[in-house]
Structure 1
């Protein structure tokens, strides 16, 4: 199935230049843009709560999803379980998400520098002081925030449970 045959949510997914143009249009219209990021392998309720909370802090939510290569660099050779295109499509299908971009680097810093969001939102495994990209975001007057519920859900834990039950 090609992109044009997929659900309308597939239209939310774009390359970095396409998403940059969309973010500039949102900014010009006076909308506050937030950026969230993650692997989103085996999408679970913790992901949904994080993204819904992030969207609640802004008018527009962009989600940067780690590519397969980026995920392997961060999580090891057995990850991701779900291919990048499918993970991006699932994230895009969430009503709280406005735009999705895949990125290949180990960190989202390049995406952050290109998009220059008003707000970068991380999950509750961070504090505002521990967000690695904080200085970059604050350098142009942006801010960082933490959102979601306590980190009681994880793909790694789910995979371990599946292995034990196999």
Structure 2
């Protein structure tokens, strides 16, 4: 959705290139619950890679991005404004500190969420007559 696009554009503006680490299907299911993800990891990666602001999109299978972060060693690590320094994963924060990455939080785009979009679609469909 457009909230993700704006977030990624803002993230890209903070560095020379944008590498996006994408949770794999199994970890999305564990994090988000039944019915998720709604699109496959490969489809999500392809969509991200097609965006002009994204230089590389890669999938990591774990719930935490620690192995991905250790391999990529980003100069800047970006999360959405729905996170705070206190809610960031502590293992991820530790690896970022170890490699000297700056952490930047980009303001949350109010009114845009995948969960909200799914709910809106389901509500719309349930109101249709067959």
Aligned to 2:115: 156
Structure 1 distance, partners of 2:111, 2:103, is 22
TM-score normalised to the size of structure 1? 0.70
| Moved segments of 4+, more than 4 Å | none
What pairs up with 1:31-110 in 2 under 5 angstroms?
Answer: 44-110=1-67
What's the CA shift for 1:127?
A: 2.3
SS of aligned partner of 2:9: helix
Q: Report which stretch shifted further, 96-105 or 144-153.
A: 144-153
Deviations 1:93-138 (A, max 9, x none): 0000001110110121110111111111001101244322223212
Specify whether residues 151 and 106 from structure 1 end up closer, same or farther in structure 2 by C-alpha distance, changes over 3 A only.
Answer: farther
Q: What are the ranges of 5 or more consecutive residues in structure 1 without an aligned counterpart?
A: 1-43
The answer as to whether partners of 1:70 and 1:105 remain within 8 angstroms in 2 is yes
Specify whether residues 89 and 149 from structure 1 end up closer, same or farther in structure 2 by C-alpha distance, changes over 3 A only.
Answer: same
The count of corresponding residues between Structure 1 and Structure 2 is 123
Identify the match of residue 111 of structure 1 among 64, 68, 78.
68
Q: What are the ranges of 5 or more consecutive residues in structure 2 without an aligned counterpart?
A: 126-130
RMSD: 1.4
